[in-house]
């Protein structure tokens, strides 16, 4: 058995990140003011096609800040997908509101617009679609339904920085959008986030809320209760270095995902998500479904087998409506999300980061094939041939619910 240490992710800090961070330290502007903060907010807003960008301490605080600025509060409902990192729902809960979970689209794995309308009630205030794993949600359809009901939309773009939807940048597709710059994200400063938006009326309140509620025009005057959600100038310096290489970073991630698709085509029981023709993704994690009946073993067995070869993986997110903080309320609502549950049970994330080589991808995919073969009996192989004759099974999809 071959062994090679391949982590699930690794930040690419090979540009000016270290030099800019050192410059920030040398300037003594290491807290929440400085030239790199101003530069990053300006450049990030421009890249997202928005008038404003406000940097925050992480992606979760960006979400909370956006929702709080929009006035989300007790008694409100906010529609979110259950297939996402739990921060999406937690930010709603921080505001005293209730997250309402709906199912995903079988092709994009993002919030399904067809399920949106039936979840809207008189208490619904907004929708937070998630651009899952770097693929944009169908924002035109979501925005049209929201507008009909007088709802706002906030993009959760934590995993999709620099993706585009019908030629328009993610971050510019709704009332506001939020981003994460955690260590495994598209660009990173360790911990960090941002909110992008066009509405000038939101900027003053959002900056006040981010900075403990202090009036920007009157120092140490606090007309509202706010939060300490500011980003440091040192972290912003790292992000400025990342911004200089963003096109190369995204391009390499796309190459890696394409290489996985090529290598895994024809492997029975492996289903890859296909990009919608209106999407240019910014791949966060290459991911696939594992059908145990065809592949020969369960997703978790595959992960264990890859780990013995030094290959780190991650299971797909556990659906939030199955988590203890949200489970009881979801049961009371009779929440039934079959596609979300299937993706959560069978999806696996594979190593994805710019420093990976093509040989790394080939090594991982060869290991996947070997593990499948090791688990398949001759009888099972014969059964698969009968079931899958004429098909390489690369088009395996989540079935659309009736």
Of 246, 272, 288, which marks where a domain is finished? 246
Q: Can you list the residues of the chain whose pLDDT is less than 50?
A: 379, 389-396, 400-402
Does 11 reside within a domain? Answer: no
Same domain, 220 and 255: no
Same domain, 222 and 283: no
- Looking up residue 153, the CATH number of its domain turns out to be 3.40.640.10
Does 241 reside within a domain? Answer: yes
Of 193, 221, 246, which marks where a domain is finished? 246
In terms of residue numbers, what domain contains 258? 247-388
- pTM for the model stands at 0.94
Same domain, 228 and 303: no
Query: For 134-175, how does the pLDDT look when each residue is reduced to its tens digit (9 = 90+)?
Result: 999 999 999 999 999 999 999 999 999 999 999 999 999 999
Same domain, 238 and 286: no
Same domain, 216 and 240: yes
Of 246, 271, 301, which marks where a domain is finished? 246
Same domain, 192 and 46: yes
Does 12 reside within a domain? Answer: no
Same domain, 241 and 327: no
Specify the pLDDT at position 2. 86
Same domain, 32 and 168: yes
Same domain, 238 and 266: no
Specify the pLDDT at position 247. 98
Specify the pLDDT at position 217. 86
Same domain, 241 and 257: no
Same domain, 374 and 327: yes
Same domain, 254 and 238: no
- Looking up residue 310, the CATH number of its domain turns out to be 3.90.1150.10
Specify the pLDDT at position 363. 98
203, 52 contact by CB (below 8 A): yes
The number of folded domains in the chain is 2
């Amino acid at each position: 058995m071959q062994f090679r240490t391949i982590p699930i992710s690794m930040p690419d800090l090979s540009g000016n990140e270290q030099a800019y961070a050192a410059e920030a330290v040398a300037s003594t502007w290491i807290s929440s003011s400085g030239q790199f903060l101003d530069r990053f907010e300006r450049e990030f807003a421009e890249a997202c096609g928005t008038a404003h960008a406000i940097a925050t301490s992480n992606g979760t605080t960006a979400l909370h800040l956006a929702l709080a600025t929009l006035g989300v509060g007790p008694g409100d409902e906010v529609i979110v997908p259950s297939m996402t990192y739990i921060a999406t729902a937690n930010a709603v809960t921080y505001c005293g509101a209730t997250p309402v979970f709906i199912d995903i689209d079988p092709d994009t794995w993002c919030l399904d617009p067809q399920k949106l309308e039936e979840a809207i009630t008189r208490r619904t205030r907004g929708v937070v679609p998630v651009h899952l794993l770097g693929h944009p949600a169908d924002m035109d359809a979501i925005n049209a339904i929201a507008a009909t009901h007088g709802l706002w939309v906030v993009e959760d773009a934590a995993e999709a920085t620099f993706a585009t939807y019908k030629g328009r940048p993610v971050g510019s597709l709704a009332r506001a959008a939020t981003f994460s710059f955690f260590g495994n994200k598209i660009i990173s400063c360790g911990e960090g986030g941002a909110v992008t938006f066009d509405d000038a009326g939101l900027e003053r309140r959002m900056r006040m809320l981010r900075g403990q509620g202090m009036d920007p025009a009157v120092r140490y005057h606090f007309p509202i209760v706010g939060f300490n959600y500011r980003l440091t100038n040192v972290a912003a310096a790292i992000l400025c270095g990342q911004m200089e290489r963003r096109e190369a970073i995204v391009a390499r991630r796309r190459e890696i995902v394409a290489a996985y698709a090529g290598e895994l085509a024809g492997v029975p029981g492996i289903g890859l998500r296909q990009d919608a023709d209106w999407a240019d993704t910014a791949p966060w994690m290459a991911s696939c479904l594992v059908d145990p009946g065809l592949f020969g073993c369960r997703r978790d067995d595959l992960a264990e087998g890859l780990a013995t070869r030094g290959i780190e993986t991650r299971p797909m997110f556990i659906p939030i409506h199955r988590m203890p903080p949200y489970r009881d309320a979801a049961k009371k609502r009779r929440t039934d999300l079959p596609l979300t549950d299937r993706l959560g049970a069978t999806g696996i994330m594979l190593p994805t980061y710019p420093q990976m080589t093509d040989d790394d991808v080939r090594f991982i995919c060869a290991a996947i094939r070997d593990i499948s073969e090791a688990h398949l009996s001759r009888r099972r192989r014969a059964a698969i041939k009968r079931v899958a004759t004429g098909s390489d099974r690369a088009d395996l999809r989540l079935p659309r619910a009736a």
